[in-house]
Amino acid sequence: MCGIIGYIGTKQASNILVKGLKKLEYRGYDSAGIAILDKDILIYKQPGKVINLEESIDHQVENVTMGIAHTRWATHGEPTVDNAHPHTSNNGDIVLVHNGIIENYKFLKDELIEKGFSFEGQTDTEVLVNYIQLIQDEQGLSIEDAVKKALQNANGAYALAIIDKKEPNKMIVTRKGSPLAIGLTDSNDEFYVASDAIPIIEYTQSLVYLNDNEVVVLERGQKMKVTDIYGVEKSYKVKKIDLNLDKVSKGDYEHYMLKEIFEQPATIKNTLYSHLNHENSDIHFENLDELKEKLVNASRIIIVSCGTSWHAGIVGEYLIEELARIPVEVEYASEFRYRNPIITKDDIVMAISQSGETADTLAALRYSKAQGATTFSICNVFGSSMARECDFTAYTYAGAEIGVASTKAFTAQVAVVSLLAIQLGLERNQITQEKANSLVEELKTIPSVVNQIFATDDHIKKVAKNYTETTSFLFLGRGINFPIALEGALKLKEISYIHAEGYPAAEMKHGPIAMIEESLPTVIVATNNEYYDKLVSNAQEVKARKGPIVAVVNDDDTEMIQIADHVFKVPRVSDLLQPIVSVVPLQLFSYHVAVFKGCNVDQPRNLAKSVTVE
C-alpha cells in the first residue's frame, strides 16, 4: 500500500528519494511523486511506475538536500497526476505525503470550500494539507503546531511527512495506524523517513518506530524532538536493525517470488531453530514465560488474520485442536470486530501477519485487547505495530518478503504454529514427550523435504504451460490440506489473474460440481491421509464429467496417479506436517503460469503488499 520516503540532510535528496521509492515499489502502487525544497517547492508526479517519475525529474535539482516522496495505491480517486502525492496547500507553502485515509475528509472539505479553498483532485490528503493551511492562516501557528491542531480534528489513519517552505530547515512527520520509521545518524545532520526499514538501512541501522499520535520535528543539527498531538513531550527508543541488504535483492533470480520460494528451506530452518533449544531441541518461545500459564489454560484461541496468513491460521486450527485440544476459531480480521464478537479475558486472540501492519488485523487485536483478552502475534517484521502492541510475539524468521504473493512467510507461519501446537499439547498432557520429540525431529527434516520438491520444478513448469489459456480453476483439499487448496487458489488468482476457487473436497457436490467440464481443471491436494479414498472418489467424479485433474500426491501414490492428467509428487511426511510441504508445488505452479502469461509476478495489478487501510 502507499509508501512514504523522506530525507532532510546534507546529501542530494532526489536520488535518495527515487532510490527509496524503488525499494518501496513492492508495497503496491499505481502512481508516484516527489517534492523537493529548493528556493521554492518543486513537485514531480506521474501515473504508473517510479521509472516514469524518475525520467520526468529535472536534473537541475542537484543541490537540493530535502524532500518527500510517495508511491500511491489509489483509494479516493483514480491514479491520475492530480490525485498523486505530494499534495500542496492552496497557498503553495505546505506540501505533504500521506499513507492512510482521513475518514472525515468530506466534513473538513465542506468547511474548506466554504472558506474559499479549491481542490484539483479527489483525495482525502489534499483536504488535509489545506486544513493545515487553514489552521495556520487562522491561528498564526508554526507548521509543527498547525499539524498537531489539524490532527486533533482529523479522524482515520495516517503516516505523514510534511514540509512548509516558510520553515525550510524542518520536516514534520507523524503517524496513527499507518507504519512509519525514522532513520537517525550520529551527527543529527541528516534524517531518513520511510514506511518501512528497507529504503533506510543502506544509510543507517538506527531506527525509531513512531507510536500512534506522535509528532516529530526533524531539523538539521538538532536532536529529533517528539511530542504527542497535544504537545506533551515523548521519549523514544532507538532500535538497531539487523537487515542484510543482499537478502533484499533478487540475486540471480528472475523474480523476488521465485527467490522467496527457493529460500524456504533456509527460512523454515531459521524459524524452527530460533524457537528450539540448541542443546536438546526443546521448544522455547523467548519471553513467553509470563504468559505461558494463560496460554496453556486458555479456554479458547481466536486466530485473526487476512489472506494467506488466514490460511496459515486454518492450518493452525487443525494443529492446535488436534495436538493441544484447545478450541480454536479462525476469523477474518475484517469481519471479526464488526459483528460484536464475544471475547472474554480467558481468551487468547492470536494475530498471524507477515507485515504486522495489516489494518484489519491490527484493529481486531486492539479491539480484543480492549475487551480484556490476552493478545499474541505471529509476525515476520520486527518492531511492527502488532509486535509492539501485543502481549507476546513469536516471530517468523523468513527475512524481508518483497514479492507481493506471500510464500516463505506462509511456510514460516506454519512452522511456528506447528511448534506452538506441539508445545501446548505437551504442557496440557495431550501428547507424550515421545510424540512431541518425533514431531519436532520430523519438522527438522522439512527443509530438506522442500529441497527435494525443487528437483521437480522443471516438471511443474511443463505442466503449467498447459494451463496458460485456462480461465478458471477449482482447488480441492480435505482436512489439514483444505487450507492448502485455498492457498493454491489464492496464489494462482493473485499473480496470473485466472479465476480460482478453493473448496473443501466434500463440498464439491453441494455446488461447484456444476461447473465441471472439459475447460475447467481441478487441482486436488491428495496426499495420502485418512481422506485419501474419499479424494480418489472426488477425482473420479470430476473425471466422469471430463474435467482435467492436476493432483498433489505423495511419492508412493498408486491410485490418484492413474486418474489425474498431471501429478506433482511430494515426499510423504506425517499428516499434520503435510501442508507445509504440499503448498510448495502449488506456489511454483502459480508462479510458472503467471510468467507464461507475461504477468508482473512481483507486483500484480491492484495488489498491495501490506494492506494498511481498511
Q: For residue 160, which amino acid is it?
A: L
Are the C-beta atoms of residues 99 and 21 closer than 8 Å to each other?
no
Q: Which of residues 117-156 bind ligand F6R (CB under 6 A)?
A: none
Q: How crowded is the C-beta side of 234, counted as CA atoms within 13 Å?
A: 20
Residue among 6 and 356 whose Cβ is closer to ligand F6R: 356
Give me the least distance between CB of 238 and ligand F6R, in Å please: 25
Report DSSP state, residue 481: G
Are the C-beta atoms of residues 160 and 215 closer than 8 Å to each other?
no
Q: Count of residues binding ligand F6R (CB under 6 A)?
A: 15
Q: Which residues face 591 on adjacent strands?
A: none
306 binds ligand F6R (CB under 6 A): yes
In whole angstroms, what separates CA 337 from the centre of its chain? 20
Give me the least distance between CB of 399 and ligand F6R, in Å please: 14
**100, 307, 425, 488: residue in contact with ligand F6R (rule CB under 6 A):** 307
Give me the least distance between CB of 254 and ligand F6R, in Å please: 18
In whole angstroms, what separates CA 294 from the centre of its chain? 28
Q: Active-site positions?
A: 2, 609
Going by DSSP bridges, is the β-strand pair 156-164/225-228 parallel, antiparallel, or unpaired? unpaired
Residue among 359 and 424 whose Cβ is closer to ligand F6R: 359
DSSP string, 447-478: HHHHHHHHTTHHHHHHHHHTTTT--EEEEEE-
Residue among 23 and 609 whose Cβ is closer to ligand F6R: 609
* Torsion sign (Cα): 6, 8, 9, 12: positive
Residue among 274 and 308 whose Cβ is closer to ligand F6R: 308
Q: Which of residues 387-406 bind ligand F6R (CB under 6 A)?
A: 405-406
Residue among 136 and 354 whose Cβ is closer to ligand F6R: 354
Helix (H, G, I), strand (E, B) or coil at 114: helix
Residue among 9 and 177 whose Cβ is closer to ligand F6R: 177
Report the distance separating Cα 360 and Cα 63, nearest Å: 42
**65, 89, 130, 610: residue in contact with ligand F6R (rule CB under 6 A):** 610
Give me the least distance between CB of 307 and ligand F6R, in Å please: 2
Residue among 2 and 323 whose Cβ is closer to ligand F6R: 2
Are the C-beta atoms of residues 329 and 302 closer than 8 Å to each other?
yes
Range 131-134, long-range pairs (CB < 8 A, 24+ positions): 132/89, 132/94, 132/96, 132/162, 133/89, 133/90, 133/91, 133/93, 133/94
Give me the least distance between CB of 134 and ligand F6R, in Å please: 36
Residue among 317 and 494 whose Cβ is closer to ligand F6R: 494
Q: Which of residues 493-552 bind ligand F6R (CB under 6 A)?
A: 494
Residue among 65 and 308 whose Cβ is closer to ligand F6R: 308
| Alpha-carbon separation of residue 48 from 70, 99, 407, 606 (angstroms) | 12, 17, 26, 12
Give me the least distance between CB of 237 and ligand F6R, in Å please: 23
Q: For residue 561, which amino acid is it?
A: I
578 binds ligand F6R (CB under 6 A): no
Give me the least distance between CB of 167 and ligand F6R, in Å please: 36
Cell digits for 26?
513492492
Give me the least distance between CB of 209 and ligand F6R, in Å please: 16
ω before 86 within 30° of 0 (cis)? Answer: yes
Residue among 2 and 560 whose Cβ is closer to ligand F6R: 2
Beta-carbon neighbour count of residue 278 at 10 Å? 8
Q: Which of residues 455-474 bind ligand F6R (CB under 6 A)?
A: none
Report the distance separating Cα 174 and Cα 162, nearest Å: 9
Give me the least distance between CB of 353 and ligand F6R, in Å please: 3
Q: Which of residues 317-376 bind ligand F6R (CB under 6 A)?
A: 353-355, 358, 361
**88, 213, 274, 309: residue in contact with ligand F6R (rule CB under 6 A):** 309
Report the distance separating Cα 102 and Cα 157, nearest Å: 6
611 binds ligand F6R (CB under 6 A): yes
Q: Which residues contact 121 (CB under 8 A, 6 or more apart)?
A: 77, 80, 82, 83, 87
Give the range of 123-131, 306-314, 417-425, 428-436 binding ligand F6R by CB under 6 A. 306-314
Give me the least distance between CB of 206 and ligand F6R, in Å please: 25
Q: What are the residue ranges of helices labelled H in 254-407?
A: 256-262, 264-274, 289-296, 307-324, 333-336, 359-370, 385-389
Binding mask 405-424 for ligand F6R (x = CB under 6 A): xx------------------
Residue among 198 and 426 whose Cβ is closer to ligand F6R: 198
Closest residue to ligand F6R: CB criterion: 307
Specify the DSSP element, H or E, that contains 124: helix 124-139
Phi, psi of 523 (to 5 degrees): -100, 120
Give the range of 305-313, 315-323, 335-343, 549-557 binding ligand F6R by CB under 6 A. 305-313
Report the distance separating Cα 276 and Cα 282, nearest Å: 5
- Let me know how long the chain is: 614
Give me the least distance between CB of 359 and ligand F6R, in Å please: 9
Are the C-beta atoms of residues 532 and 575 closer than 8 Å to each other?
no
- Which of 84, 77, 51, 64 has its CA nearest to residue 14? 64
By CB under 6 A, name the binding residues for ligand F6R: 306-309, 353-355, 358, 361, 405-406, 490, 494, 610-611
